[in-house]
Amino acid sequence: MQRDKPHITPSVQNYWELLKPRVMSLVVFTGFCGLWMAPGSIHPILAFTAILCIAAGAGAAGCLNMWFERDLDKLMVRTMTRPVASGLIHPDSALAFGVILALLSIVVCQVAINTTAAILLTITIGFYVGVYTILLKPNTPQNIVIGGIAGALPPVIGWSAVSPLDLRPWSLFLIIFLWTPAHFWSLALNHAAEYKEAGLPMMPNTAGIQKTKKYITIYAILTVVSAIIPCMLQMAGWFYLGCTLVFGAGFIFLAIQLYKSEDSQEGLRVFAFSILFLFILFAALIADRKTYG
């Protein structure tokens, strides 16, 4: 006689993990940078509300991603402990939580901030879940390239909460958009076998390891070049430019080292440094906006 599985009550921590907090923290930071860089002013409470909406929207997208990919997550060591894949949270609960959080973030953004920010937030959530997760990821190795649009929009949302959009916030969008492939593929190199087992057409499996390393180097160079554009648009000064050139050189150097190396750990070094690079880049923008604003 088969016994029923014991009922597990999910904890607050389990629901917090549904939101992909590491990804969400980077989204919040870049969103804040967009808000901070925008000319004009916004009441501190509304600024906090705008960032909260960006965080909730990003968390909702991560939650719905875990709900949709729960069966795939079970096949990979990197993801099998996620709350839905591991059975800690029922799929229906994750779906309801994600949908409610997404709707709340959009409605609050519309009511408290403005229509432009709410529309951009809707596009961000919809693109990550509907286009990247459901359409692109299972079908094309360019999934992370095109899907990077969703991750690159938060600074544009932050900017739109304060000021009308122009070329300047889109320069921040471009940096993150070009940064994403190098960042993600450097991690994917170490999980190529898992992606193959799960049937996902990730670049290391479709193009090969060496060609993926070549693409990582190309995108690292493009990212650093794009990071100079804010200076051309007079958004920042010499401090930001100096940080871009110094840490950008480090990013490109590590990518080239990865291309030449047979050591799989080099990919993890590029992955870790890419996060540091983006953080320093946007932190320098925030600092220079205060100086040169």
- pLDDT value at position 8? 65
The domain boundary, picked from 132, 165, 198, lies at: 165
Q: Total domain count for the chain?
A: 2
Whether residues 93 and 192 fall in one domain: no
- pLDDT value at position 73? 87
Measured distance between the N- and C-terminal CA atoms of the chain, rounded to whole angstroms = 72
- pLDDT value at position 26? 92
Q: What is the CATH number of the domain that holds 86?
A: 1.10.357.140
Whether residues 123 and 179 fall in one domain: no
Q: Once rounded to an integer, what is the mean pLDDT over residues 154-170?
A: 97
Q: Once rounded to an integer, what is the mean pLDDT over residues 172-187?
A: 96
- pLDDT value at position 270? 95
Q: With respect to residue 5, please indicate whether it lies within any of the assigned structural domains.
A: no
- pLDDT value at position 231? 94
pLDDT tens-digit profile of 56-106? 999 999 999 999 999 988 988 888 899 999 999 999 999 999 999 999 999
pLDDT tens-digit profile of 213-268? 999 999 999 999 999 999 999 999 999 999 999 999 999 999 999 999 987 678 99
The domain boundary, picked from 138, 165, 192, lies at: 165
**pTM of the predicted structure, to 2 decimals:** 0.92
- pLDDT value at position 293? 46
- pLDDT above 80 (res 134): yes
- pLDDT value at position 220? 98
Amino acid at 153: L
- pLDDT value at position 4? 39
- pLDDT value at position 161? 97
- pLDDT above 50 (res 272): yes
- pLDDT above 60 (res 5): no
Whether residues 196 and 247 fall in one domain: yes
- pLDDT value at position 1? 38
Q: Enumerate long-range contacts of 254-258, CB under 8 Å, 24 or more apart.
A: 254/220, 255/182, 255/186, 255/213, 255/216, 255/217, 255/220, 255/221, 256/217, 258/186, 258/213, 258/216, 258/217
Q: Once rounded to an integer, what is the mean pLDDT over residues 4-21?
A: 78
| Of residues 262, 133, 89, the one with CA closest to residue 189 | 262
- pLDDT above 60 (res 291): no
- pLDDT above 80 (res 162): yes
Whether residues 128 and 198 fall in one domain: no
Whole-number Å distance between alpha carbons of 69 and 79? 10
- pLDDT above 60 (res 187): yes
Q: With respect to residue 4, please indicate whether it lies within any of the assigned structural domains.
A: no
Range of the domain at 146: 10-165
